[in-house]
Amino acid sequence: MSMPTRPSDSPTRRNAGDKPTAPPPRPLVRRLWWLAMAVLLAWNLYAFFAPKAPPAVALSYTAFLGQVRADNVASVTLAGQNADGVFKNAIVQPPDVGASAPTAAPTAAQPSAASATPATFTRFTTVMPVTGDVQLLPLLEQHGVSVTVKDTTGGSWFLDLATSLLPVALLVGMLFFMGRQSQRGTQSLFGFGGSKARVYDQEKPGITFADVAGQVEAKAELLEVVDFLKRPQRYRHLGARLPRGVLLIGPPGTGKTLLARAVAGEAGVPFFSISASEFVEMFVGVGASRVRDLFTKAKAAAPAIVFVDEIDAVGRQRGTGMGGGNDEREQTLNQLLVELDGFDDQTSVIVIAATNRPDVLDPALLRPGRFDREVTVGLPDRAGRQAILVIHTRPLRLSPGVDLELLARRTPGFSGADLANLANEAALAAARRGETDEVDVRDFDEAMDKIVLGTRQAGLQDEGERRLVAYHEGGHALVARLTPGADPVSKITIIPHGRALGITEQFSEEDRRNYSRAYLVGRLTILLGGRAAEEVVFSDPTTGAESDLKQATGLARRMVGLWGMSDELGAIWYGVGETHPFLGREMGAPKEYAEATAAELDVAVRKLVERAHQQALEVLQTRRACLDALAAELLLHESLDGSQLDALLAADRACALSRDGQGETAALAAYDERRQ
């Protein structure tokens, strides 16, 4: 049972190199080659295994006429000067083949005189005179011979030529293809240390700054870089030096890679793109070799831009953590540092790198002269979120009732990737529903629930567990509703989502960057409202508050150790609650406080949590009637939104009065005014 508080494209590329490389064979071409080879194989197998026609004896024209007159010819086919046919009775070819006519096959009563069995034939072929024979057709008709005439004026020579050349062409093509594959394999073997960077092809349509929204300051910084590459003399005339590197810093999903692609679309210069993980290999020296090769190609193509994505894969601090660092990675980093120093003032090559972990980068990488500029790509504000939603909802068929400004207000803390996912999930929800061909507000509500709360699960079946979850979530909601300055409650549900059995959802309608001590103390009280409700109603807490206790303890530890919000310890930074990215750094680093202070820190954290717990208990004990009414509504409807909660509390007089019977109405009025 948790309480979420945060509702919080690529251009075509080609291989880089001094000389264009042949594109890899496409899958369609490969399929066609295999199909051609299969046809050739089937053809040969058919020719080999096909039933053979019986052999034919070659007769002289005189012998052919003799067989006709002897009524031993059943049919004949005439094709120009050539003729072939079928005997009525098989004949025996005599040993002395010549002009004499073959004799009829011997019967059992008349055995052959030859010692060897003679060959018998049922078919024959012959060649007719060039001058023709006008008496042939009447003779054939007289003896009842079936005559078939074939036209020999067609272009059968083309079919014969194609039939003869097709196997040869397929064989030559196969040998050529195998040679290309072998050559490509050899090139990859000897080019193992070459750069795998992809270069942007400006002839293809790509992403521009018009496709990027919500990052006005970052775009302004990068537009200056693009302008320097397009018109370097304008800056050099004033003595300005070209920036060596630009580091894009920001949380995941804020559009760092998208901004780099937009630079490629705006610059009109070669744009080399590579992931830092592509430098690192298991073989020693390969990463450094690839760095050298990348910068060699970039300098040859200057002015140019080199984009290194996730640079922390090779740019981590050297010699950190237990056991030091990775030698191959550190050699790659050293070579990268050397190359960044190797530019002269006239070389127009800019390196753009992106990371979401600037705290792990080596200090030598961040010094001036290497990465001169750090561009923060943060979470968008409300106006930025609305502009991003406009871009990502362009392909959708939106219902007129969808208000993008309201969606932007409901999504503080959402990154550009979160908003893109929200639009896509809403379209998927509309497709699943299938009632209309438009995406409406219900679809966006369902998408918000799925993203923030998690995938909806089957409802709880046990009535006792449903009642426990209803009181738990009712405790969160009621404490949040009665805590001054707390974020408004937008939804309460006892339907399981993800791994939570129930959820109380709060959305801040304003973008917050600083949090007051009163707000954080109220946040602690709200987190412990579910546990307090279990104690008030059932007098027996359950394991359902594990996530709440973890969040509350972590928040209290940061309040004491990082933000100096403890009355006992004062405004001192102790580093308690700070996370370390490297294994062993926390164990190896000296503590900034004594052991006695550590005990005081634990006591201060416990006091903050216990004080918030006691305050939640007091609120729920005083408003027990409200808690019962809210739990009953949750058991009946399973989900309530913020307006339904307000209506429930306003309708019940016991909920509208404080312990002394006055003062609470003004707080409710202030809350309603803040929501409006």
- A 10 A CB-CB count for 107 gives 7
Given 473, 505, 534, 633, the catalytic residue: 473
CB of 629 closer than 8 Å to CB of 478: no
What is the Rg, in whole angstroms, of the alpha carbon atoms belonging to the chain?
A: 44
* Angle of CA points 182, 184, 187, to nearest 5°: 110
CB of 311 closer than 8 Å to CB of 287: no
**3-state class (DSSP) for residue 420:** helix
Reading the block at residue 557, the tokens are 């530890």
Which residues have C-beta within 8 Å of that of residue 667, sequence separation ≥ 6?
Answer: 482, 484
Query: What pairing do the DSSP bridges indicate for beta strands 373-376 and 349-355?
Result: unpaired
Verify whether residue 473 is a known catalytic residue: yes
Category of 277 on φ-ψ map: left (φ > 0), alpha (ψ -120 to 50) or beta: alpha
Q: Is the peptide bond before 270 cis (omega within 30 degrees of 0)?
A: no
DSSP of 656-671 = HS-TTSSSHHHHHHHH
* Angle of CA points 193, 194, 196, to nearest 5°: 120
Which residues have C-beta within 8 Å of that of residue 446, sequence separation ≥ 6?
Answer: 425, 426, 429
Reading the block at residue 12, the tokens are 């075509």
Reading the block at residue 669, the tokens are 């009025």
CA distances from 666 to 506, 508, 624, 656, 659 (A): 22, 21, 20, 10, 14
Helix 624-637 / helix 463-482 crossing angle, nearest 10 deg = 130
Catalytic site residues? 473
